Amino acid sequence: MTRPWLLPVLLLLCGSAVAAILAWRGSPEAAAAFWAVFVLGALVNSPLAFPRSVSASQAQRRSAADGRPVVFWRPGCTYCLRLRLRLGRDARRAHWVDIRRDPEGAAAVRAVNDGNETVPTVLVTGRAHTNPDPAWVRAQLPPPA
Q: Write out pLDDT tens, residues 38-93.
A: 888 888 777 777 778 899 999 999 999 999 999 999 987 889 989 988 988 888 89
- Express as a percent the part of the chain with pLDDT over 70: 95
Architecture of the domain whose range is 50-140: 3-Layer(aba) Sandwich (3.40)
Residue 1, pLDDT > 90, answer no
Give the SS3 label for residue 7. helix
Length, in residues, of the chain = 145
Residue 21, pLDDT > 70, answer yes
Q: Tell me, what's the pLDDT at 106? A: 95
Domain limits, the chain: 3-48, 50-140
* DSSP string over 69-123: -EEEE-TT-HHHHHHHHHHGGGGGGSEEEETTT-HHHHHHHHHHTTT---S-EEE
Alpha carbon distances (Å) from 93 to 9, 101, 107: 29, 21, 23
pTM of full prediction above 0.85: no
